[in-house]
Amino acid sequence: MVAEIISVGTELLLGQIVDTNAAYLGRTLAGLGVDLYYKSTVGDNEGRVLDTLSRARSRADLILTSGGLGPTEDDLTKECIAQVFGEDLVLHEPSLEELEAFFARRGVPMPPRNRKQALIYRHGRPIPNPNGTAPGALLEKDGVITISLPGPPNELIPMVENHVAPFLTERLSGTRQFLVTRVLRFIGIGESALEQEVLDLLHGTNPTLAPLAHTGEVHLRMGAKAASVEEAETLLAPLEEEIRRRAGRYLYGTNSTLLEDAVVTLLRERGLTAATAEGCTGGLLGGRLTQSDPAENVVLGGFVTPGPAALTGILGLSPELIDRHGIVSGPVAEAMADAARRRAGADIGVAITGQAGPDGGGARGLVLVGLAQSDRTTHSEHHCIGIRDTVRRRATQLALQQLREALLDV
Amino acid sequence: MVAEIISVGTELLLGQIVDTNAAYLGRTLAGLGVDLYYKSTVGDNEGRVLDTLSRARSRADLILTSGGLGPTEDDLTKECIAQVFGEDLVLHEPSLEELEAFFARRGVPMPPRNRKQALIYRHGRPIPNPNGTAPGALLEKDGVITISLPGPPNELIPMVENHVAPFLTERLSGTRQFLVTRVLRFIGIGESALEQEVLDLLHGTNPTLAPLAHTGEVHLRMGAKAASVEEAETLLAPLEEEIRRRAGRYLYGTNSTLLEDAVVTLLRERGLTAATAEGCTGGLLGGRLTQSDPAENVVLGGFVTPGPAALTGILGLSPELIDRHGIVSGPVAEAMADAARRRAGADIGVAITGQAGPDGGGARGLVLVGLAQSDRTTHSEHHCIGIRDTVRRRATQLALQQLREALLDV
């Protein structure tokens, strides 16, 4: 099966939105073993949408579209698909009822123009969308499957997971080559150093191994094709084992595992708790850790201390210490970590203080990470390049890396 | 001038990389007044790259490619362009010298295969790339300008800023139509309600007005074309004025202004300070507010309180209050806000407590926002749909919205 992705929306061409849907759909198709040769983006223009759809129809077995299912006149996707495939759009009563119920739950009447969203191909069917007003639409005609999804990722992703992926899996079973990929995620080792470690493994054809550039960490992607998932996984296993043997200390997780997930898991395994204190990051580290710890078991609490008033008032640091060393200093990073640990009653305190720089290009940031355990308090210093946002993100990454390394040595 | 963007790379089709270059190039072209009708993504496959380039050649005046300029056999972009336009690739000595110098600076000899990167069209020219090994390449032939750039954004962006944008500006001067767009950003009003307010304004052709879907807020994009930027802005002014007259209370900013920027600006204008206390969001609200307040003037501090231990231990809430109402309750939201305000010595405390739900699809979240001022403490309750990440992001949005509304009424 050969697929093609079409993203519809002038805002995508203008660059006002980055098309994360296309990447997500690409990963999904790769996981299903469906070949994807082309992705196209086209604006809300009837002629150009028709042109793009016609070409896709001529060279693909599966067309996935995102966007253009809204209630406005600009939303043309279903109308264009109907035209290209010679289909009629007819009112789908259950979809209309769901739409009306959607608005009723919000206590507002449905605007008349939203009725358009309940139009579905006469020989197709809707795909339920519990998170928005636009149902998806599926049409199978002339040997081509066309699946249309709405643009907002929080609507599109659940629809793919709950409907599209199961539908395609069923459709593909028995005939396909299964491609299994696994991403190995490393922290604390540079891209070149890691590539040097695995240089001789980068030339295989099945399984394959390829480095993936990623800001602040390094990823390797393994891939294997076989007649079954199990067979493909059997091809991957010895490769992964060899990589773990060579660089296992830096390997924190696989696939979609986040560094914060790995750190929270390590804390849990070690039976330890943590607390945070954040200057320039203002809570982003706490935000990442609590995303991975919804049960509130290991991240006990944290402090946002953007300036000297908070450092003395909230964390109880001495004004003399701050005067003597400055906010962005090793002693203050260590004192922050220790105060966070004590005040939250946690085993480990981790602190960030830094100069994240202005919100312009090419700036340099200085980040200090403090780490306090019951028997020892340390800090490390890091120079980061980038705009304020990048430096702040990088600072949370460095703090998680330091915390991970401390936990590995516990 | 009509442009087309082609992104080359199998990793883009597999979704291992999100194509931020395409969005960046789209914004750049829009700013130059160049029309962009299509973006395509194609893998590292000669036949399909040739096919995509031939089509672009037939319908565009300017083709921008990213990716496929590396030293490996997979890197095919220049070779395919040469084939489509009937050009030869010849060794460009100065580029070879720069390549050799690039490797020398890193203290390693240049691998022989990198020599390929110094091949440039006989009738074209290279575009310098100080941040990587791949020079860009420019070809102007048969009325079509083709500009090829490397894939890594930290190489591509400086090349666009320093070479491509100035080249296009010069080329366009005198002949171009300037497109000026402005995005108006609203919060606290639904998409349908806002569209209802401006319905009669949505049908203009110059200026144009279009709604943009955006999670948690609503945006309108205005656009005008004219022979100069000033003229285009003159077309936009009365439209913006009319929209402000109708829905100004909900309009918090324009273009890239973030809600947190608007809230920090309001705090500054009112001479007020704020402090945060966060349960399920774990610091994300503090992170957003401090991103917009690098001078640490108005966001005095905050508290991360994921569970009852932190609520009592760090914020000093009474265990009885928590037992009686539960963590996710109005009284606890108000007590958190009040404690944050008092402990940080701020004028306003804003608190989030909620049930963000598990990390799966289709979940429902309950979010309470507490707000404490010197003379009054209030809370509001919100139901959110989505995965944990979405609910948490939405919770910070709701907290900023509540804070903004309180500040508007000060």
Domains of chain A in sequence order: 2-172 (3.40.980.10), 178-254 (3.30.70.2860), 259-408 (3.90.950.20)
Q: Residue B360's pLDDT band (boundaries 50, 70, 90)?
A: very low
CA separation, residue B190 to residues B184, B193, B239 (Å): 14, 5, 20
**Which of A290, A306, A309 faces B290 most closely, judged by CB atoms?**
A306
At A361 the pLDDT is 42
CA separation, residue A375 to residues A155, A275, A349 (Å): 49, 16, 12
Is there a contact between B183 and A16 if contact means CB atoms under 8 Å apart?
A: yes
Strands (E), A77-207: 89-91, 119-121, 125-127, 136-141, 144-149, 178-186
Residue B403 to residue A65: CA distance in whole angstroms: 38
Residue B26 to residue B266: CA distance in whole angstroms: 32
More confident residue, B409 or B364: B409
Is there a contact between A289 and B282 if contact means CB atoms under 8 Å apart?
A: yes
Residue A61 to residue B69: CA distance in whole angstroms: 31
**Which of B16, B27, B309 faces A15 most closely, judged by CB atoms?**
B27
Residue B223 and residue B174 in contact, taking contact as beta carbons nearer than 8 Å: no
Query: Which range has the top average pLDDT, A127-131, A252-256, A395-399, B27-31?
Result: A395-399
- Cα of B189 to nearest chain A Cα, Å: 13
Tokens read off for B43: 């893998």
Residue A108 to residue A105: CA distance in whole angstroms: 8
Query: pLDDT by residue (tens digit) across A43-57?
Result: 999 999 999 999 999
Other CB atoms within 10 Å distance of the CB of residue B165: 15
Residue B301 to residue A32: CA distance in whole angstroms: 47
- In this prediction the ipTM stands at 0.70
Paired with A6 in beta bridges are: A40, A65
At A325 the pLDDT is 96
Is there a contact between B43 and A37 if contact means CB atoms under 8 Å apart?
A: yes
Q: For residue A21, what is the DSSP state?
A: H
- Residues from chain A that touch B39, judged by Cβ atoms under 8 A, are 12-13, 40-42
CA separation, residue A296 to residues A86, A257, A288, A346, B305 (Å): 55, 19, 13, 13, 9
Interface test with B, best of A14, A49, A184, A400 (most B CBs within 10 A): A14
- By C-alpha distance, the chain B residue nearest A389 is B291
- Position A364 pLDDT exceeds 70: no
Is there a contact between A304 and B310 if contact means CB atoms under 8 Å apart?
A: no
What is the interface size between A and B, counted as CB pairs within 8 Å?
267
Long-range CB pairs of B232-237, under 8 A, 24+ apart, other chains included: B232/B178, B232/B179, B232/B180, B233/B180, B235/B206, B235/B207, B236/B180, B236/B182, B236/B207
Between strands A299-304 and A274-278, the pairing is parallel
Is there a contact between B26 and A18 if contact means CB atoms under 8 Å apart?
A: no
- Residues from chain B that touch A300, judged by Cβ atoms under 8 A, are 306-307, 309-310
Whether residue A207 has a cis bond before it, omega within 30° of 0: yes
Is there a contact between A158 and B388 if contact means CB atoms under 8 Å apart?
A: no
- Scanning B314-374, the segments in alpha helix (DSSP H) are 319-325, 330-344
Question: What residue type is B82 in one-letter code?
Answer: A
Tokens read off for B233: 């802005």
Residue A221 and residue A210 in contact, taking contact as beta carbons nearer than 8 Å: yes
Cα A35 vs. chain centroid, distance in angstroms? Answer: 22
Query: pLDDT by residue (tens digit) across B265-300?
Result: 999 999 999 999 999 999 999 999 998 876 667 999
CA separation, residue A127 to residues A83, B22, B24, B360 (Å): 20, 29, 32, 19
- By C-alpha distance, the chain A residue nearest B388 is A291
- Residues from chain A that touch B388, judged by Cβ atoms under 8 A, are 291, 294
Q: Residue A295's pLDDT band (boundaries 50, 70, 90)?
A: low
- Position B164 pLDDT exceeds 70: yes
Give the burial string for B356-375 (b: 16+ CB within 10 Å, else e).
Answer: bbeeebebebbbbbbbbbee
Look at the block and give the residue holding tokens 């009003």.
Answer: B189
- Scanning A39-86, the segments in alpha helix (DSSP H) are 46-59, 77-84
Q: For residue A15, what is the DSSP state?
A: T
Query: pLDDT by residue (tens digit) across B204-233?
Result: 888 989 887 676 788 998 988 888 888 989
- By C-alpha distance, the chain A residue nearest B304 is A302
- Position B37 pLDDT exceeds 50: yes
Based on its alpha-carbon atoms, the radius of gyration of chain A, rounded to whole angstroms, reads 26
Whether residue B207 has a cis bond before it, omega within 30° of 0: yes
CA separation, residue A129 to residues A78, A155, B375, B383 (Å): 15, 7, 44, 18
**pTM attached to this predicted model:** 0.71
The residues, any chain, with a CB within 8 Å of residue B118's CB and separated by 6 or more, are B91, B92, B93, B95, B96, B99, B135
